[in-house]
């Protein structure tokens, strides 16, 4: 079987157009011609400020006060009222007490009046509750209205700014550790290519970790499909955040796999994940070398594209075998092990193809939609012991694979999102690293799109 890999590709590639229009002559030319003007995104780097400028907190009630106090504890410059012409790094609007759509007007118009003062790469983040069965119609309407607001606002923002939301499950307070971990992710450069999306804080969670620079210190993680591309980026990012990483890929990728493992001071495990004993072999490797296994990242995947009318059993079955059946079988082994039972993390790589579909990818879309179903059904099985399971769904990511797309098609695909550019493998890796953090203990069963709000699906 060929090297297992994500469909997004093999390594980060440059978007020359974005670089050209980011300043000087190129910027002026694009403006005169009415061409897209994507911004160079603010991505995470250790030691960088959480945001660049003050944070405006909009909202009334105890929830907004509590969120403002947490931000102050993070040593942020917090405003409760906008100062005209003062550049803002972020706006956080707390709407947890909404009871009627009429109550949206005051806070959202306050946000709107401050938008022109946002810095480049600023953040807008809502904190609210989702509509739930049993809600009064007015309450459900108000809560659902926030979904439309954030997704629409994300399409209006420019200069690399994004809009996202934190949803509070029943009983979860706005300033709970789980909600604040999601807020911190959305405010930070880790979420550079996440736009128009929501994360649900399912439980109160646990107290946030003290060390945000090395949040995974002491943890052991396994990453499948780690020899190249997104998998290698995931391995590097987890190692950067303090984890000891076991890099897994097929034997034919052995040289690349060894190079990645050596670079991050981890270990390499050559393994075909479709083997029936793959999960146990990973456990044996982790426990034999390190005595524990805390984090599993299911990244390995393949594509075998054909229109359904031309699809054969080999193409269909191989994609299902690698992309979803192997995960199901490995998870059974992990969940059966007492050494992976407490505070464990499983993160899968899905795809926007599994949300919106894609021509010629019925097999691939089936497997990636299947990953989403797996995540939601597995969450209760891990919750009893403090574990979580989530997935990221990449959109157009700059890789060797997307670089082979014909130029015109590639350019259109790049610009069909709110940020008007492709993402990087590191963008996917940052989202996965967030889900792996101890601070995300109350964030589970989420499917987070890393796509710049691509114009497909939700």
User: pLDDT tens digits, residue range 385-437?
Assistant: 999 999 999 999 987 777 777 878 887 888 889 999 999 999 999 999 999 99
Q: Which of 42-56, 205-219, 261-275, 284-298 has the lowest mean pLDDT?
A: 205-219
- Give, to the nearest 10 degrees, the angle between helix 425-436 and helix 177-187: 160
Can you read off the two tokens belonging to residue 323? Answer: 């992309």
Say if 48-201 and 220-450 have the same CATH topology. Answer: yes
User: pLDDT tens digit string along 310-333?
Assistant: 999 999 999 999 999 999 999 999
Of 363, 369, 382, 368, the closest CA to residue 300 belongs to: 368
What is this structure's pTM? 0.93
Could you tell me where the beta strands, DSSP code E, fall in 310-417?
345-349, 388-394
pLDDT of residue 5: 38
HSE value, Cβ hemisphere, 13 Å, CA-based, for 102: 1
pLDDT of residue 208: 64
Percent of the chain with pLDDT over 90: 83
Cα-based distances in Å from 369 to 35, 155, 451: 35, 25, 16
User: pLDDT tens digit string along 163-201?
Assistant: 999 999 999 999 999 999 999 999 999 999 999 999 999
Domain spanning 220-450, CATH class: alpha beta
Kindly tell me if the per-residue pLDDT of 116 is higher than 60. Answer: yes
Q: Which of 30-34, 140-144, 305-309 has the lowest mean pLDDT?
A: 30-34
Kindly tell me if the per-residue pLDDT of 364 is higher than 90. Answer: yes
Q: Stretch 217-226: mean pLDDT, rounded?
A: 97
Model confidence band, residue 115 (pLDDT cutoffs 50, 70, 90): very high
β-pair type (345-349, 118-128):
unpaired
pLDDT of residue 2: 36
The fourth-level CATH superfamily of domain 48-201 is NAD(P)-binding Rossmann-like Domain (3.40.50.720)
User: pLDDT tens digit string along 4-28?
Assistant: 333 333 334 557 888 888 888 888 8
Contact 124, 111 (CB under 8 A): yes
Q: Which residue intervals of 34-175 are DSSP H helices?
A: 62-73, 105-114, 137-156
Structural domain spans, the chain: 48-201, 220-450
Cα-based distances in Å from 338 to 95, 166, 222: 41, 32, 17
pLDDT of residue 458: 46
**Residues designated catalytic:** 364
CB atoms within 10 A of CB 218: 11
pLDDT of residue 38: 87
CA 41 remoteness from chain centre: 15
Contact 246, 271 (CB under 8 A): no
Specify the residue for token string 């804080």. Answer: 201
pLDDT of residue 10: 36
3-state DSSP assignment of residue 277: coil
pLDDT of residue 18: 83
- In eight-state DSSP terms, residue 454 is B
Can you read off the two tokens belonging to residue 106? Answer: 């005051």
pLDDT of residue 76: 98
Average pLDDT score over the chain:
92
Model confidence band, residue 292 (pLDDT cutoffs 50, 70, 90): very high
């Amino acid at each position: 079987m060929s090297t297992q890999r994500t469909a997004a590709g093999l390594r980060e590639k440059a978007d020359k157009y974005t670089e050209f229009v980011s300043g000087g002559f190129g910027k002026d030319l694009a403006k005169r011609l009415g061409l897209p003007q994507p911004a160079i995104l603010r991505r995470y780097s250790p030691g960088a400020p959480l945001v660049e400028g003050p944070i405006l907190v909009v909202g009334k009630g105890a929830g907004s006060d509590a969120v403002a106090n947490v931000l102050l504890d993070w040593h942020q410059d917090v405003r409760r009222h906008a100062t005209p012409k003062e550049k803002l790094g972020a706006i956080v609007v707390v709407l947890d007490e909404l009871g009627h759509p009429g109550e949206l007007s005051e806070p959202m118009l306050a946000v709107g009046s401050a938008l022109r003062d946002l810095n480049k790469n600023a953040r807008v983040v809502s904190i609210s509750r989702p509509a739930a069965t049993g809600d009064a119609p007015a309450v459900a309407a108000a809560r659902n209205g926030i979904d439309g607001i954030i997704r629409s606002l994300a399409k209006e923002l420019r200069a690399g700014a994004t809009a996202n939301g934190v949803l509070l499950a029943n009983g979860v307070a706005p300033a709970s550790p789980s909600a604040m971990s999601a807020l911190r992710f959305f405010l930070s450069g880790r979420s550079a290519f996440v736009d128009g999306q929501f994360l649900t804080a399912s439980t109160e969670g646990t107290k946030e970790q003290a060390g945000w620079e090395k949040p995974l210190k002491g943890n052991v993680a396994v990453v499948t499909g780690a020899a190249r591309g997104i998998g290698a980026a995931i391995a590097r990012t987890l190692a950067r955040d303090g984890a000891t990483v076991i890099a897994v890929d097929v034997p034919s990728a052995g040289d690349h796999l060894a190079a990645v493992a050596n670079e991050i001071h981890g270990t390499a495990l050559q393994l075909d994940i479709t083997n029936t004993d793959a999960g146990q072999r990973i456990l044996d490797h982790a426990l034999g070398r390190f005595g524990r296994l805390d984090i599993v990242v299911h990244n390995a995947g393949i594509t075998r594209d054909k229109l359904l009318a031309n699809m054969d059993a080999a193409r269909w079955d191989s994609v299902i075998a690698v992309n979803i059946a192997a995960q199901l079988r490995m998870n059974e082994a992990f969940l059966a092990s007492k050494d992976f039972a407490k505070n464990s993390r499983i993160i899968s790589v899905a795809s926007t193809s599994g949300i919106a579909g894609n021509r010629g990818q019925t097999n691939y879309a089936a497997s990636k939609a299947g990953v989403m179903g797996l995540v939601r059904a597995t969450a209760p099985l891990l919750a009893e012991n403090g574990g979580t399971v989530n997935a990221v769904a990449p959109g157009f990511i700059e890789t060797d694979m997307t670089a082979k797309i014909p130029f015109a098609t590639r350019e259109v695909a790049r610009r069909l999102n709110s940020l008007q550019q492709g993402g990087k493998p590191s963008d996917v890796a940052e989202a996965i690293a967030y889900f792996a953090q101890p601070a995300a203990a109350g964030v589970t069963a989420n499917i987070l799109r890393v796509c710049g709000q691509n114009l497909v699906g939700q």
